[in-house]
Amino acid sequence: MLPSALNDVIDALGRLPGVGSRTAERYAYFLLKSDAKISENIASALSALHDGVKSCPVTFAIMDASEDVSPLYSDPARDKGTVLVVEEPLDIYAIEQTKAYHGTYHVLGGAISPMDGITAEQLHIRELIDRVANDSVTEIIIATNPSVEGESTAVLLDKLLREKYPDLQITRLARGLPLGVSLEYADQITLTSALNNRTKI
C-alpha cells in the first residue's frame, strides 16, 4: 500500500537496535518530508562506515582506516607501561571523557559468555599477555563491565596474568555508590563494596 521506496526505508531502518515499525515509519516519513540532502548525508556516511574504520592491530581499539596503530597507543605522551583493559571499543571513549587516564588501552572484544558461545580463545587475551612483555607493562587495570560475564573474564585475566608475571600490578575499577543514587535504592552488592572499600574523608 505504501510506496515501495518508503517501505524499503522503513524495513531497512527497522534493523537498528530498539527501532520498531512505528519508529521506523516516523524516521522514514520525516526523511521523506525533509530535504533529500538529509537522506543522502546518512546514506553516504553509512556507505563509508565499514571501509573508514578498522581495528588497531596492537590495542584492538577502533581507528581511522588510514592509521597504522591507534593514536591512543602511538601518542608518546601516553604511558605504555599502564594498560586499561575493556570489553568493547566504545568503552575507551567513556574512560577518555573523564580525562583522568593517560595510559594505553586493550580491547578484549567482549567478555566470556558460555550462553552466547563466547570463549576465552575468542577474546584478545593472548595479545594482552604478549603486550605485557613487549611494552614492559607494570600495571594492568581491568575495566570489564560489572556483569557476571565481565566478572568471570576479570577473574580469568587475573589468573592468567599472575601465572606468567607474578610481579605485575593488577587492579580493578572501584565499586561503590554512583553519583545521585540514594542509599535506599543501591543494590546489596554495590553497597557491600562501598562499605568494604570505604575511603577516609
Cβ neighbours of residue 151 under 8 Å, at least 6 residues apart? 144
Please state the closest distance from residue 63 (CB atom) to its own copies, in A.
6
Q: Which residues bind its own copies (CB under 8 A)?
A: 1-6, 8-9, 11-13, 15-18, 25-32, 36, 38-53, 62-65, 89-90, 93, 96
Distance of CA 116 to the CA centre of its chain: 18
Q: Which is nearer to its own copies, 35 or 187 (CB)?
A: 35
Comparing C-alpha atoms, which of 160, 91, 152 is closest to residue 125? Answer: 160
Comparing C-alpha atoms, which of 26, 1, 109 is closest to residue 9? Answer: 26
Please state the closest distance from residue 183 (CB atom) to its own copies, in A.
27
Please state the closest distance from residue 39 (CB atom) to its own copies, in A.
4
Q: Which is nearer to its own copies, 23 or 152 (CB)?
A: 23
Q: Which is nearer to its own copies, 35 or 167 (CB)?
A: 35
Please state the closest distance from residue 139 (CB atom) to its own copies, in A.
23
Q: Which is nearer to its own copies, 103 or 161 (CB)?
A: 103
Which pairing describes strands 53-55 and 62-64: parallel, antiparallel, or unpaired? Answer: antiparallel
Cell 588510514 belongs to residue: 66
Q: Which is nearer to its own copies, 44 or 192 (CB)?
A: 44
Q: Which is nearer to its own copies, 26 or 162 (CB)?
A: 26
Please state the closest distance from residue 20 (CB atom) to its own copies, in A.
13
**Dist. CA 30–CA 7, nearest whole Å:** 13
- Cα dihedral sign, 80-171-90-53: positive
**Dist. CA 155–CA 167, nearest whole Å:** 17
106, burial (CB in 10 Å: exposed 0-12, middle 13-18, buried 19+)? buried
Please state the closest distance from residue 160 (CB atom) to its own copies, in A.
25
